[in-house]
Amino acid sequence: MLAAGERVVMISGANRGIGAATARRLAAGGFRLSLGVRNGKTPAVPASARCLVARYEARDRESAKAWVDATLERFGRIDALVNNAGISRLSTLEDESEDTLDEMWLVNVKAPLRVIRAALPHLKKSGVGRVVNVASLSGKRVKNANAGYAMTKFALMALTHSVRRLGWEHGIRATAVCPSFVATDMTADVQEVDRAEMIPPEEIAELVATVLSLPNNAAVAELLVNMRHEDMV
């Protein structure tokens, strides 16, 4: 494995929640960072010689390639992606409008696909390329009426395993991190779970750092992270 200080990691949604915690953790670990944030958003780690802050808008088809190009221009290589940017909207089976579902599909599935596609040649060159997709336990089972959100997270799981299959011979290892409720802005309106019981985003960041540190012969495909006991298939 390359030393942390030699490795370049791209992180989307790096201005809050899991993305911000991951950026801080990896910066402390010596990684070089390329942080993708929306216009006007303040990243968790300020721009420096070791940290590029770049515009990344998940809804914009061209944004992924532009971010990858900016990362290469600054650092000359890409060793890992952390696809963290995502949204949660209510979209049930009975909703006749598909606008909300389309928005989640774009941000939660097509956006990470586009970043992976743009970075893939450079991850292959690395020899120790890593892709970490921040998914959800909603990508492993369905426990509520929000079918649309679950559908996008199931799709993100499929994308993760596709990257594992395609990239394996090139040293690329892909992992889906699947948490239950995390204490971030996304769960601010959740009423059925006490916020103090939710997973701190820093703990998810620690797991991401662990996955990035593993050698090619110790790959983890999925990490299921729960705040309570529940039967899992």
Q: Which whole-number Å values give the CA distances from 160 to 101, 165, 173, in the listed order? A: 20, 9, 9
Q: Using alpha carbons only, what angle is made at residue 175 by residues 174 and 177, rounded to the nearest 5 degrees?
A: 155
Cα-Cα-Cα-Cα torsion 124, 153, 38, 23, nearest 10 degrees, comes to -60
- Helix spans in the chain (H): 17-28, 63-75, 99-105, 111-126, 147-167, 201-213
- Chain position carrying tokens 């770049």: 54
CA distance 201 to 14: 12
Tell me which of 31, 75, 149, 154 is the catalytic residue.
149
Residue 149 designated active-site: yes
Closest CA to 213 of 15, 183, 205, 118: 205
- Chain-centroid distance of CA 225 in Å reads 15
Measured in Å, how far apart are the chain's first and last C-alpha atoms? 33
Closest CA to 114 of 125, 106, 122: 106
Residues with a known catalytic role: 149
